[in-house]
Amino acid sequence: MMANFMNSAVACYTEQGPSAYRGNPLIEALPPIRTHKEVLDYFKYLPDLNIEEDLKLPLEQRLQCVFDIDDVIIPSPAVFEVEEGLSAMLRRGYLSRSPYDPGFRRTALNVRKALSTAPPPPKHFSKTTLSMLVTGVSGCGKTTLVERLLEAYPQVIDHRRYKGHSLPLKQLVWIKVNASFDASLRGLILSIFEAIDDALGTEYRQQYERAKATNDSLIGVLGQVFMTHYLGVLFVDEIQCLLLRGKDEAKLALNFFLKIGNVCKVPIIFSGTYAAVTLFSSVARNARRACSAGYHDLKLVEDATDPFWNQWYLGVLWKRYQWVPKPLPLSPEISSEMFNLTQGIMAIVVALHRACQIYAIRNGLESVDIETIKKVYDEQFVMLHKALAALRSKSRAHLEQFEDLLPPKEQLKMLLSPSTSDVLIQRLTEMRQQLLEESSI
């Protein structure tokens, strides 16, 4: 298999700041720790389009221009919190895994046994491996948030020499696996092998897919691969899909992730809908371990008066990306109607805005107004009506019909102590304010 060289780099070593990170080539090969401004400048993506020229195109070509909306990436208030957590867990995860640490090398050589017994302590003691949980309703931007932040790091770093000494190794900084593909334990293991193959050009999946090895044996091999290639972070998306195989299988898969992460000292980012809270909170120990680097709930904006909604979410799309001759200004009435119909779910906001533009172009309309928005929503978004109506109602009885929409309060309390929750709320408020101040709409 050919490796993906689109996101790889030759190691270039720079000090990262904290003294504990010095002398570790795996950490010093990473990009410098970013400021909030650098994070925001990197994360947001607003395509610079010449819409005046696009408006001169024939109808068929102009319709295709509208799909540029799908490329827009707008940061959520949680972007700084998640990036800070990722930055710390990635670097701290390498503290106990220096290639020059004899204790780590002994552990790496015996990792298959270490997965069933307690491993010997490495030179740098790490009490626990950091993990993070990111939740939110479907379409709120969880996957985009984590993927975009991961892609700020080279996926593979090719080391050759460090401080005059030979260091021939390929450092696998991150991989992503989607739990929805096959929620069985064996399927997850093979999916991880495939993610490693995509990054490094190896053939682990092909080698072990048809083998008669037991799951325990495959886990041991996977642990060895993690250690050999110094995996930095494992991103497990759609984690709630583990529940599709039943609670027993879900617990087995979850314990696999947490155990291999702890033994191999590989930090893990879990992402999923609110149904994932049930998976973790059923065992308090799992909840604490899964959230050791933070629990981030990508909450929706509460109403159309939220400045974040008008300056970033809808504001960016409405003011910058319209392919009709006479676009209307973003009035409070339009803002309110768009919020009411989409409930602030970014994927639905983008889809509805795109659909309205296409409808207007096809029907020769000069602008998109509230009547057009309602008509398009009523005709083209029928399958979402019940779920969105439940969100509008704010009724627990209605929301509980859609387990992905409402996290049980008692389960969230298991994940966050009141003091931690208060701190997160304060920090998110500060982050929102900074984003609003940075807005250049």
Radius of gyration of the chain (CA): 24
Q: Which residue has the tokens 């298991």?
A: 414
The answer to whether residues 317 and 196 belong to one domain is no
* pLDDT for 107: 66
The answer to whether residues 154 and 292 belong to one domain is yes
| CATH, residue 92 | 3.40.50.300
The answer to whether residues 70 and 208 belong to one domain is no
Q: Of 297, 318, 353, which residue sits at a domain end?
A: 297
SS3 292: coil
Using CA atoms, how far apart are residues 124 and 335, in angstroms rounded to an integer?
Answer: 53
The three-point CA angle 416-419-421 to 5° equals 45
Residue 337 lies in a domain: yes
> Domain range for residue 68?
51-74+302-399
Residue 438 lies in a domain: no
The answer to whether residues 225 and 314 belong to one domain is no
The answer to whether residues 351 and 239 belong to one domain is no
Residue 120 lies in a domain: yes
Residue 405 lies in a domain: no
How many structural domains is the chain composed of? 2
The answer to whether residues 164 and 207 belong to one domain is yes
* pLDDT for 426: 58
The answer to whether residues 343 and 246 belong to one domain is no
The answer to whether residues 69 and 81 belong to one domain is no
Residue 196 lies in a domain: yes
* pLDDT for 425: 57
Maximum Cα interatomic distance, the chain, rounded to a whole number of Å:
71
Q: Which among 33, 46, 19, 130 is positioned nearest to 80, based on CA atoms?
A: 33
* pLDDT for 348: 92
The answer to whether residues 292 and 312 belong to one domain is no
Using CA atoms, how far apart are residues 281 and 411, in angstroms rounded to an integer?
Answer: 6
* pLDDT for 5: 52
Residue 238 lies in a domain: yes
H/E segment holding residue 337: helix 332-342
SS3 439: coil
The answer to whether residues 63 and 99 belong to one domain is no
The answer to whether residues 143 and 69 belong to one domain is no
The answer to whether residues 145 and 260 belong to one domain is yes
pTM of the model: 0.84
pLDDT in tens, the chain (441 residues): 555 556 889 999 999 889 999 999 999 999 999 999 999 999 999 999 999 999 999 999 999 999 999 999 988 888 999 999 999 999 999 988 888 877 666 666 666 555 654 444 444 434 567 889 998 888 889 999 999 999 999 999 999 999 988 999 999 999 999 987 666 888 889 999 999 999 999 999 998 888 778 888 888 889 889 999 999 999 999 988 888 777 777 878 888 887 888 788 899 999 998 888 777 765 555 666 677 778 888 888 889 998 889 888 899 999 999 999 999 999 999 999 999 999 999 999 999 999 999 999 999 999 999 999 999 999 999 999 988 888 888 777 677 667 566 554 444 444 444 444 444 555 566 666 666 666 655
Using CA atoms, how far apart are residues 77 and 86, in angstroms rounded to an integer?
Answer: 16
